[in-house]
Structure 1
Amino acid sequence: MPDFDAPDLVQARHDGHLSRRSFVRCVTAMGISGGATILGKSALAQPATPTRPALSPGATRSINREDYLAAVQRAFPFEPPRARGGHVMQAVAADIATLNPVVAVDGFSAMVNSNLFSTIVKPSVIDGSWAPDLADSWDISSDGTVYTFHLNHDARWHDGVPLTAHDCIFTLDAVLDESGLSAARSDVAEVVKSYQAIDDHTLELVAQRPVADLLGKSVGGLSIVPRHIWASTPYAEWGAASGATGSDPAQVIGSGPFRFGEWVRGDHVSILRNDDYWVAALVPVIDRFTLQVLPDAHAAVQSLMVGETDICSVPVGQYASLRADRPEFTYVIYVNLGWASFTMNGDSERGSFFTDPRVRQAMLYALDRNQIVQHILNGMAVRADGIYPPASYAYAPVRVTTIYNHDPVRARSLLDAAGWIDDGDGVRRKDGVIFRREILYGDAGPFGQQILTYLQQAWGEIGVDVRTMSVPFPVRVERETTGEFEIVLHGWGGVGDDLGILYRCDAFPPHGYNIARICNPEFDRLNDESIFELDPDKRRELLIEQGNVVNDSAHSGLLHFTKTVLAAQPRVRNVHANAYQGIWSHHWMWLAVGG
């Protein structure tokens, strides 16, 4: 990659000498948000705040909050609100699992908690690089190991208590404690050497050595929780505490633009505008935002069509017919960072059928994933070859060493080699045990049901009998965490390029998301190298190689990389969403009167 300083980057991008991808990679490596550079040289020269101490020689400083917000305003078309107040309801097909963001693992909880709580830094909605939240800005030492975050002096919890660097220390302690329930523990422990509060408004984080994406592996997107609320609760009890369940609203205290309203389990969760939000420019326009829980994705779309709700996610297979029927809706479509997959429990301590990689490979070779994409999802997805989605920096389908094309003959041969024999009756047995397993799923909707039916049929054709079991979403998450499943159908999203949290040996739940409980030391070795490799091209090679390690052994059964389709009532204005944060424009949403 060519060497540029920040002003040169702007000119090189404008002149066409840098692709957008290379541009973002350069500015991210320099510790600057790509959003800052679109403002030009004057924005980069402007200090984050006049009172910040001078930088030490060779250190770099991030974009500041004012410049980032200005960049967002320039990057997206916002309609100035012509009315204030009102209630926006989003239909969803599953309930949230928790109001404690440190223990949350599901997307619905993350959506609510991201509006209730603040993070030190968060993904930029412009390009996914790191942008200010609690930190007005941050400095990076010349050797890339010391990060100094300058926290906003006006930040307050919803109960009026000042938010300080000591709350950040408390949250990091909770994440790293072995008795805790945070799935981020393995990531943070791998890269962070130490952290301390320099004063109430300055946090210092020291890396073990220079890390390619220290923020992404540590405090990036980590919601900070109030020490004065949670200090009396043992970390191991955070999942069941009243501040997590919402049973005591006085314990659900955040620092974000919305405050907690109510959570009626299985029905809805509501959050209310925080008029005292410490970023005055981001005080929401609407009064209330609600996630309305409905039985499935089809019911969610129906509620939108009859006007009972305002926003919903549309199953991709239903998009074309919905748009033809309701052209007046606002539609937002984007390729996200997620995928749909089935995970086979490979826990050897449970005597799993799937400890043998040949069995896992057979389950993939049995499937015609092109049929799923083209005939069930109407082409609104991409067949998953390898583990990285198209939006990923490490996406390289031509470099994938094992492509699981539809090959039932090979699937049967692999099962034979693994000792699962069909004696001619179409049922496979090993040591007298029938190959019969159960696949868990949450909300499937009509298209998910079609996929499940196809999976059963395809696996049945190679002698594997799979029964389906529908469970509520929180139950599915709980059983994934405890390992009480055989196969589970689910989706993943927003993980990023480093997938260690899904595949490392030290990422078994609750300290990560390796729910397959398969340990591959070679993946860990390559993942360790990639974490500390600063050269972007060399790091990408390591990511591709480690991706092949887990894909070759069929660690997970990736089906397809997903697109997200959102539909909204025309009266709801300023609905924005993308792969970096999903729906992120709650601050700016407003309701057109009579719309």
Structure 2
Amino acid sequence: MHGIPRRTLVWLTALLVVGLALPGAATLAQEATPATGDASPVAEGEATTSITRDEFYEELFAAFPFEEPQNEGGQIIWGQTSDISTVNALLTSDLPTAYVTGMIFEGLVGGSPIDGAPVPGLADYWDIAADGLTYTFHLNQDATWHDGVDFTAEDVVFTFDIALAEDSPNPRRGIIDPLLESYRAVDEHTFEMVARDQFATFVQDTAGQFGIMPKHLWEGIAPADWPNDPGSTGQDPSRVVGTGPFTFVEWRQGESVTVARNENYWDPVSIPVVDEVIMTVLPDPATEVEALMAGEIDIVEVIPAPQVEEVQNTEGLEVALFPDLGFSFYGFNLDPEKTTLFQDKEVRQALFIAIDKEAIRENIYLGYGEVPRGTQPVPSPGYDAEAIEDPFDYDLDRARELLASAGWEDTDGDGIVEKDGQPLAFTLLTSSGGGATVDQVLAELQQTWRDIGVDMQPSLVDFPSLVETITVTFDFEVVLLGFSWTADGGQGAMFACDSYGNAFNFMRYCSEEWDALEDQQLRELDPEARAQLLVQQSQIAWDDQPVGIFRFGTNRVGYTDRLHNYFPDTFATYWSFPFVWISE
């Protein structure tokens, strides 16, 4: 998401993010259509084996123009306008946090920065039995925790136990549990999972959902106590122990987070070149750009559109432009116990049709990004704009007609429509720190909705408060966010009925028709047939409008050209940090 802060729930990041896309670490783009050579389910017949670590390295070094480091040491400093929320991999639910915890912790699998496909993480490779249900992960036998304790399959079992506990604070429980029948440690270096059925993205949706936690440090602590434990807040650095290429140094809340090179990293190919990586918290995007141009930081994740040309024309700075899986949107609270304003989809459609999406793209984002048609972004296998029946183009008259059809009329002449004595007036919640771009978007939405007789008042809160609101209390009417889908096109974490309270369906949206297609696409092993099911799901969610997606993103990463081997792309922004070297 660009302009609206990409500081929201990640499904990881992807959407679901657990770390860096390193050969030995999990990545920021977890879910993907399996690439050639990756183990994927087969309808019947033969067992298969995934891509190996060595095979992935070969692909990686062929795909990117890596240089031999000419210097060692130094710091990478990158800016964020939102602080992290935890240093615990299992609790990660937003992008800044995922970036940091992904340097410290690792998952069984990661995601390739080449195409987003699943690749080895703590597992060197995995096998899928001929039944298409049994997955066996062969763990790296050299992997150790930062405190020197050996990493074993018991750590994996322990992490899954906590992640799937009834009182688990893990935000991805609702994604994993419906797919996973059982799991066990076969031996010290082998972990087995059995799927409930043959699922196209089983590896990404289970093994790729979070970083593994050390059993020897967390055993005996109740899941409900994890969020406030000193090992999650960073107050006790000795408990922030992962297996990743960087070790935790300190978290100065509201200011910065520092991680350091893991000299004893178990994968010698990916031992970092730099000494430290620091995420510094800055008040807004304009300040980030100022710091970049002054040489105070090295990377800005999203350059505001009006400043791209200025940064491009500044000696020593670069801007990487590429389509991504992110999008800008608002989401309605569809729980009638919270508000009854948005139960009628004609109201939701009217609000979306009243928005001039093309004008926002051109005037606020200066042409960067795409006007959506459907819920699937351009890089997704489920993208097919022409198949979406109604583009919901900007049309104020049609918007007014839809409101009237739903029974909303301005009967008292105050300029605001009402129904049964209730005015169509609400608060739009969003995160502070978004800068001028967010201010412009808020002003545009407020004015265009006022033009159809709707009163919207924006409310800006700090990011941690926003996250708590949309994941714990659900006390909101409409919320303005940024989000990022995953490379495989799955959108169940946001739209599946069961994802309310378990994943990222904070709207409480539920469609039996959408869910029926979800069951099909999860089990469809033919990529083309699965893509068509994704398109059908996109049509349903688009028509229902539980969220109003008004822009797909083009990423605009600004960075100093002193960083070598830094390759941000569609599937991951910081995946190459261990390979980065800094010129003098």
State the TM-score, normalizing by the size of structure 1.
0.89
Matches within 5 A, 1:125-274: 125-274=113-262
Equivalence for 2:494: 502
Q: Find the aligned partners of 1:461 and 1:169 in 2 and give their Cα distance.
A: 56
Query: 2:338, 2:475 within 8 Å by CA — same for their partners in 1?
Result: no
Q: Which amino acid aligns with 1:409?
A: D
1:313 Cα deviation from its structure 2 partner: 2.1
From 392, 406, 411, give the equivalent of 2:380: 392
Counterpart for residue 36 of structure 2: 27
Q: 1:364 aligns with which of 341, 352, 357?
A: 352
Q: SS where residue 383 of structure 1 aligns? A: coil
Task: For 1:272-421, list aligned pairs within 5 A.
Answer: 272-421=260-409
Contact 1:123–1:221 at 8 Å: present in 2 too?
no
- In structure 1, the partner of 2:577 is 586
Decide whether the 8 Å contact of 1:284 with 1:587 is kept in 2.
Answer: yes
Greater RCO structure (CA 8 Å; 6+ sep): 2
| Distance in 2 of aligned mates of 1:158 and 1:295 | 33
The equivalent residue for 1:14 is none
Q: What residue is the counterpart of 2:29 in the other structure?
A: none
Q: 2:491 corresponds to which letter in structure 1?
A: L
Aligned to 1:15: none
Give me the whole-angstrom Cα distance separating, in 2, the residues matched to 1:422 and 1:85: 66
Provide the rounded CA distance (Å) in 2 between the counterparts of 1:147 and 1:347.
38
- The 2-side partners of 1:364 and 1:26 are apart by 36
Amino acid at match of 1:27: T
Kindly indicate whether the alpha-carbon contact (under 8 Å) linking 1:429 and 1:435 is maintained by their aligned counterparts in 2. yes
1:468 corresponding residue in structure 2? 458
Take 1:170 and 1:99, find their aligned partners in 2: how far apart are those partners?
A: 18
Distance 2:141 2:152 in 1: 8
How many residues align? The count is 547
How big is each residue's C-alpha offset from its partner over 1:397-449, in whole Å with a ceiling of 9 and x where there is no partner?
A: 01112311111112122222323221232112223222221111213221121
For residues 193 and 486 of structure 1, what CA distance do their matches in structure 2 show?
A: 37
**Equivalent-residue separation in structure 1 for 2:564 and 2:175 (angstroms):** 38
Give the aligned residue type for 1:180.
S
- Are residues 1:435 and 2:427 paired? no
Deviation at 1:500, TM superposition (A): 0.5
- Looking at structure 2, the residues matched to 105 and 492 of structure 1 have their Cα atoms a distance apart, in angstroms, of 11
SS state at 1:422 partner: coil
Q: Tell me how far apart the structure 1 counterparts of residues 441 and 257 of structure 2 sit (CA, whole Å).
A: 30
How is 1:476-515 mapped onto 2 (pairs within 5 angstroms)? Answer: 476-481=466-471, 482-496=473-487, 497-509=489-501, 511-515=502-506
Q: Which has the larger radius of gyration?
A: 1
Q: Deviations over 1:40-81 (max 9, x none)?
A: xxxxxxxxxxxxxxxxx8211112112212221121111211
Q: Quick one: distance in 2 between partners of 1:351 and 1:324?
A: 46
Given candidates 568, 571, 574, the residue that maps to 1:577 is 568
Matching residue of 2:107: 119
Name the structure 2 match of 1:18: none
Q: 1:556 Cα shift?
A: 0.6
Structure 2 length as normaliser, TM-score? 0.91
SS at match of 1:583: coil
Contact 2:33 2:201 in 1 (8 A): no
Structure 2 vs 1, CA of residues 119 and 24 (structure 1 numbering), >3 Å: closer, same or farther?
closer
Q: Is the 8 A contact 2:303 2:558 kept in 1?
A: no
Which one is further off, 461-470 or 425-434?
Answer: 425-434
What is the rounded CA distance, in whole Å, between the counterparts of 1:216 and 1:420 in structure 2? Answer: 45
Q: Deviations for 1:468-513, whole angstroms, at most 9, x for unmatched residues?
A: 111111111111112121111111114341100101111012x110
Q: How does 1:53-64 map to 2 (within 5 A)?
A: 58-64=46-52
Q: Deviations over 1:360-383 (max 9, x none)?
A: 111101101000111111111100
Going from structure 1 to structure 2, the CA distance change for 1:172 and 1:402 (only over 3 Å counts) comes to farther
1:415 and 1:181 mapped to 2: Cα distance? 40
- Distance in structure 2 (CA, Å) of the matches to 1:168 and 1:29: 22
| TM-aligned CA deviation for residue 316 of structure 1 | 4.6
* Contact 2:338 2:476 (C-alpha < 8 Å) held by counterparts: no
How much has 1:582 moved relative to structure 2? 2.1
- Residue 340 of structure 2 aligns with an amino acid whose one-letter code is S
Instruction: Judge conservation of contact 1:120–1:221 (CA < 8 Å) in 2.
Output: no
Q: Secondary structure at the match of 1:578?
A: coil
Write the distance in 1 (CA, Å) between the matches of 2:104 and 2:35.
32
Instruction: Check conservation: 1:192, 1:207, Cα contact below 8 A.
Output: yes
Q: Among all aligned residue pairs of Structure 1 and Structure 2, give the percentage whose two residues are the same amino acid.
A: 36
Q: Any conservation in 2 of the 1:28–1:129 contact (CA below 8 Å)?
A: no
Distance 1:148 1:390 in 2: 33
- C-alpha root-mean-square deviation of aligned residues, in Å? 1.8
Match of 2:61 in 1: 73
Instruction: Deviation per CA, 1:178-223: give whole Å up to 9, x if none.
Output: 2112222122112111111000100011111211111121112421
Distance of 1:236 and 1:359 partners within structure 2:
39
**1:10-48 C-alpha deviation (Å, 9 max, x unpaired):** xxxxxxxxxxxxx9766267549xxxxxxxxxxxxxxxx
For residues 184 and 406 of structure 1, the distance between their equivalents in structure 2, rounded to whole angstroms, comes to 36
Name the CA shift for 1:487/1:524 in 2 (closer, same or farther; >3 Å). same
For 1:420-459, list aligned pairs within 5 A.
420-423=408-411, 424-442=413-431, 443-459=433-449
CA contact (8 A) 1:367 1:458 kept: yes
Letter in 2 for 1:226: P
TM-superposed CA distance for 1:302, in Å, is 0.8
**Partner residue, 2:21:** none
Unaligned runs of 5+ in 2: 1-31
Deviations 1:500-541 (A, max 9, x none): 0101111012x1100111211211111011101112222122
> What is residue 545 of structure 1 aligned with on the other side?
536
Counterpart of 2:428, as a letter, is I
In 2, Cα distance between equivalents of 1:207 and 1:517: 27
Distance 1:85 1:577, change over 3 A: same
User: What's the CA shift for 1:331?
Assistant: 2.2
When residues 285 and 221 of structure 1 are mapped into structure 2, their CA distance, relative to the original with a 3 A threshold, is farther
Please name the residue that 2:25 is paired with: none
CA distance 1:133–1:25, shift in 2 (3 Å): closer
User: Structure 1 counterpart of 2:421, which letter?
Assistant: G
Aligned partner of residue 337 in structure 2, secondary structure:
helix
**Do the aligned partners of 1:286 and 1:589 also contact (CA within 8 Å) in 2?**
yes
Query: Whole-Å Cα distance in 1 between the matches of residues 151 and 263 of structure 2?
Result: 17
**Residue 548 (structure 1) shift:** 1.1
CA contact (8 A) 2:329 2:481 kept: yes
Contact 1:121–1:130 (CA under 8 A) maintained in structure 2:
yes
